[in-house]
A and B are shown apart, each in its own frame.
Chain A
Amino acid sequence: KAGVTQTPRYLIKTRGQQVTLSCSPISGHRSVSWYQQTPGQGLQFLFEYFSETQRNKGNFPGRFSGRQFSNSRSEMNVSTLELGDSALYLCASSVPTSANTGELFFGEGSRLTVL
């Protein structure tokens, strides 16, 4: 069974640009969550999608957005990039049913550098 796949793995952007990151969850997983990881702030929750609906949102500005498609694939977008957006962006998928184990499965992440 393929794991969570994130693309691209690495990217470099300049301030003011926008970026779109993609996440393909494990087959059968319908919930996708996004996290930002930085040395200073650690791992912070961005948002979670289930059945194409955003169910939960972290404390990030409106420049951070996301969406989920009918096949459960998800994208997140960051507009008007700032230097502080440089981070590892992690995607995680899960089976949000009452019978699940509670575990989230993570991808390898997309490393964004903003110059």
Chain B
Amino acid sequence: AQTVTQSQPEMSVQEAETVTLSCTYDTSESDYYLFWYKQPPSRQMILVIRQEAYKQQNATENRFSVNFQKAAKSFSLKISDSQLGDAAMYFCAYRGDFGNEKLTFGTGTRLTIIP
């Protein structure tokens, strides 16, 4: 069974600074997806960024980027130029290949932005 571990229950960062959230996972599959989801206090889970395991290039979405280390089974999220609206719970999630829609989530990291 796949597992996802987020070792940082809480993180804080000054507005406009950079923060990195950590995530490790365990799987025996070779093809899979990794995601970072954000859950603001309003509760709706929103996709931040995705990474396909077969792609060596790290995904980037504006101020959000990942450091994907497949051999180390590590998938960290870097948020640059942090903004107040980035405050939320961040969940790292794993999904197997096509045909398996199940997401396995980490326990989450609560990110606080300090003005």
CA distance A27 to B21 in the complex (A): 33
The contact of A102 among B46, B52, B104, by CB within 8 Å, is: B52
What residues of chain A lie closer than 8 Å to B52, measured between beta carbons?
Answer: 102
> B108 to A33, Cβ gap below 8 A?
no
Interface of A with B (CB < 8 Å)? Answer: 31, 33, 35, 42-43, 45, 48, 50, 55-56, 58, 88, 90, 92, 94, 96-98, 100-109
Mostly, the A contact residues are strand
- Chain B residues lying within 8 Å of A55, measured Cβ to Cβ, are 99, 101
Question: Which one of A42, A94, A105 lies within 8 Å of B108 (CB-CB)?
Answer: A42
Per-position binary interface string of chain B over residues 85-96, scored 1 when its CB falls under 8 Å from any chain A CB and 0 otherwise: 000000100010
Which B residues contact A (CB, under 8 angstroms)? 33, 35, 37, 42-47, 50, 52, 91, 95, 98-108
Check A98–B98 contact: CB distance below 8 A: yes
Please report the C-alpha to C-alpha distance between residue A32 and residue B93 in the assembled complex, in whole angstroms.
17
- Neighbour of A103 across the interface among B50, B100, B104, B105, CB < 8 A: B50
Do B33 and A48 touch (CB < 8 A)? Answer: no
**Given A43-B91, A90-B45, is A104 in contact with B103 using a C-beta cutoff of 8 Å?**
yes
Contact in complex: A43, B101 (CB < 8 Å) = no
